[in-house]
Amino acid sequence: MSKPTRAFTQANRPAPPIEQQRLIAEQTAAFLAKGGAIQQIPNGVSGQPRLGGVSAVAPAAKST
């Protein structure tokens, strides 16, 4: 069974990138104007919880 093809029409066509950028800028400005704040997250930090709960870091080697 084949998947139906999706034809883009004028009503469901994604906005062009320049329009998307403008909309994001407007929404961001409105958010900040209402007192919102943007939090900068450091590189390497994830908002996803750990799946296993145990750290993947290997234990330290014992010195003799």
Q: Is the pTM of this model over 0.75?
A: no
CA distance 14 to 20: 9
Question: Do 22 and 28 form a contact (C-beta atoms < 8 A)?
Answer: no
pLDDT score for 49? 82
CA distance 58 to 52: 15
Residue type, 22: R
Q: What percent of the chain has pLDDT over 90?
A: 34
Q: What is the pLDDT of residues 19-49, one digit of tens each?
A: 999 999 999 999 999 999 999 888 888 878 8
Question: Do 15 and 23 form a contact (C-beta atoms < 8 A)?
Answer: yes
pLDDT score for 59? 56
pLDDT over 90 (residue 62): no
